[in-house]
Amino acid sequence: MSRYNFKETESKWQKIWDQRGTFKVRTDDSREKYYVLEMFPYPSGRIHMGHVRNYTLGDLVARYKKARGFNVLHPMGWDAFGLPAENAAMQAGVHPAKWTHENIDAMRAQLKTMGLSYDWDREIATCDADYYKHEQKMFLDFLKAGLAYRKESWVNWDPMEQTVLANEQVIDGRGWRSGALVERRELSQWFFKITDYAQELLEGLETLDRWPDKVRLMQENWIGRSEGLRMFFDLVDRSDRLEMFTTRPDTIFGASFCAISANHPLTMELADKNEALQSFMAECNRLGTSEAAIETAEKQGFDTGIRARHPFIEGKTLPVYVANFVLMEYGTGAIFGCPAHDQRDLDFARKYDLEVTPVVCPTDQDKSSFSVGSEAFTEDGLLINSDFLDGMDVPTAKATAIDRFESEGRGERTVNYRLRDWGVSRQRYWGCPIPVIHCEDCGIVPVPETDLPVELPQDVTFDQSGNPLEHHPTWKDVDCPKCGKAARRETDTFDTFMESSWYFARYCDSKNDSSAFDRKTADYWMPVDQYIGGIEHAVLHLLYSRFFTRALKKCGYLSVEEPFAGLLTQGMICHETYKDAEGQWLFPTDVEQKDGNWVRIGNGDPVTIGRSEKMSKSKRNVVDPELIIGTYGADTARLFMLSDSPPDRDLDWTDSGVEGAWRFVNRLWRMVDGRMDTLPPCGSEGPEDRDKKAESTLRAVHKTISLVTDDLEKFHFNKAVARIRELVNELAELDSARSDESWTLREGLEAVVKLVGPMMPHLAEELWSKLGYQTLLTEESWPSFDPSLTIEETVSVAVQVNGKVRGKVDLPRDCDKERAEAAALAVENVQRAMDGKSPRKVIVVPNRIVNVVV
Please write the tens of the pLDDT for every residue from 772-781. Answer: 999 999 999 9
Looking at residue 199, its pLDDT comes to: 97
171-191 burial: b if 16+ Cβ within 10 Å, else e:
bebbbbbbeebbbbeeeebbb
Strands 174-175 and 170-171: antiparallel
Please provide the CATH number assigned to the domain covering 225-417: 3.90.740.10
pLDDT at 329 over 70: yes
27-138+497-569 homologous superfamily:
HUPs (3.40.50.620)
Are the CB atoms for 722 and 593 separated by under 8 Å?
no
Give the other-Cβ count within 10 Å of 513's Cβ.
7
Side chain identity, residue 818: E
The answer, yes or no, to whether residue 341 has pLDDT greater than 90, is yes
The answer to whether residue 538 scores a pLDDT higher than 90 is no
Summarize the confidence of residues 742-769 as an average pLDDT.
97
- Give, for 437, the enclosing helix (H) or strand (E): strand 436-439
Inter-CA distances, 620 with 574, 590, 609, 616, 659, Å: 11, 10, 13, 6, 22
pLDDT at 288: 62
Neighbours of 836 (CB within 10 A): 7
The pLDDT, as a whole number, for residue 813 is 79
Task: Answer positive or negative: Cα dihedral of 725, 729, 735, 738.
Answer: negative
| Cα separations in angstroms, 428 against 84, 453, 460 | 11, 18, 12
- According to CATH, the topology of domain 675-791 is Isoleucyl-tRNA Synthetase; Domain 1 (1.10.730)
pLDDT of amino acid 85: 87
pLDDT surpasses 70 at 296 = yes
Assess contact for 76 and 36: CB atoms under 8 A: no
Q: Which amino acid is at 302?
A: F
The helix/strand/coil state of 79 is: coil
794-853 CATH fold: Ubiquitin-like (UB roll) (3.10.20)
505 neighbors 522 (Cβ within 8 angstroms): yes
Task: Mention every residue, 6+ apart, whose C-beta is less than 8 A from residue 583.
Answer: none
Question: Within 432-487, where are the H helices?
Answer: 468-471
**Alpha carbon distances (Å) from 91 to 94, 428, 839:** 8, 16, 89
Which of 217-226, 458-467, 585-594 ranks highest by mean pLDDT? 217-226
Distance CA 518, CA 509 (A): 7
User: Cβ(23)–Cβ(119) under 8 Å?
Assistant: yes
Angle between helices 761-770 and 739-756 (to 10 degrees): 150
Distance (Å, whole) CA 718 – CA 725: 11
Give, in degrees to the nearest 5, the angle at Cα 543 between 539 and 548.
155
**What distance in Å separates the CA atoms of residue 679 and residue 775, rounded to the nearest whole number?**
19
DSSP string for 749-767: HHHHHHHHTTTSHHHHHHH
CA angle 849–850–853, rounded 5-degree value: 135
Mean pLDDT computed over every residue of the chain? 93
The model's confidence at residue 815, banded by pLDDT at 50, 70 and 90, is confident
Q: Which of 186, 177, 322, 175 is nearest to 257 (CA)?
A: 322
296 or 305: whose pLDDT is higher?
Answer: 305
pLDDT tens digits along 156-181: 888 887 788 876 677 777 887 788 88
Closest by alpha carbon to 121, among 505, 508, 502? 508
Q: Give the integer Cα–Cα distance in Å for 511 and 120.
A: 12
Centre a 10 Å sphere on the Cβ of residue 559 and count the other Cβ atoms it contains: 13
Give the pLDDT confidence of 64-83 residue by residue, as tens digits: 999 999 999 999 999 999 88
The CATH number that domain 573-671 falls under is 2.20.28.290
Strand 530-533 to 33-38 pairing = parallel
> Comparing 816 with 439, which gets the higher pLDDT?
439
pLDDT greater than 90 at residue 51? yes
Give the C-alpha separation, 788 to 793, whole Å. Answer: 10
DSSP 306: E
Q: How confident is the model at residue 511 (pLDDT cuts 50, 70, 90)?
A: very high
Contact 175, 182 (CB under 8 A): yes
Judge contact between 188 and 152, C-beta under 8 A. Answer: yes
Q: In what order do the strands lie in the sheet with 148-158?
A: 163-165, 148-158, 183-192, 422-423
Peptide bond into 588 cis (omega under 30): no
Tell me what pLDDT residue 290 has. 61
Partners of residue 192 on adjacent β-strands:
148, 422
Pick the closest to residue 424 from 497, 477, 495, 376 (CA basis): 495
Percent of residues, the chain, with pLDDT higher than 90: 76
Q: Which residue ranges make up each domain of the chain? A: 27-138+497-569, 148-192, 225-417, 433-492, 573-671, 675-791, 794-853
Exposed e or buried b for every residue in 283-300, given b needs 16+ CB within 10 A?
A: ebbebbbbeebbeeeebb
Query: Is 548 in contact with 554 (CB distance < 8 Å)?
Result: no
pLDDT at 819: 87
More confident residue, 524 or 818: 524
Same fold: 573-671 with 794-853: no
CB contact burial 55-73 (16+ within 10 A = b; e otherwise): bbbbbbbbbbbbbeebbbb
pLDDT tens-digit readout, 466-506: 789 999 999 999 999 999 999 999 999 999 999 999 999 99
Q: What is the pLDDT of residues 8-29, one digit of tens each?
A: 999 999 999 999 999 999 999 9
Phi-psi region at 283: left, alpha or beta (left = phi > 0; alpha = psi -120 to 50): alpha
Q: How far apart are CA 95 and CA 78, in angstroms?
A: 18
Edge-to-edge strands of the sheet including 301-309? 301-309, 317-323, 257-260, 334-337
For 540-564, write each residue's pLDDT tens digit.
899 999 999 999 999 999 999 999 9
One-letter amino acid for residue 348 of the chain: F
33, 522 contact by CB (below 8 A): no
**AA letter at 382:** L
- pLDDT beyond 90 at 718: yes
Instruction: Look at residue 788 and tell me whether its pLDDT is greater than 90.
Output: no
Q: Beta partners for 599?
A: 592, 606
| Mean local confidence (pLDDT), 268-288 | 89
Strands 124-125 and 183-192: unpaired
Give dist(CA 695, CA 686) in Å, integer: 12
Amino acid 733: pLDDT: 92
Whether 536 shows a pLDDT value over 90: the answer reads no
Give per-residue pLDDT as tens, 641-697. Answer: 999 889 999 999 888 999 999 999 999 999 999 888 889 998 887 777 788 889 999
**pLDDT tens column, 76-127:** 999 999 888 888 887 888 999 999 999 999 999 999 999 999 999 999 999 9
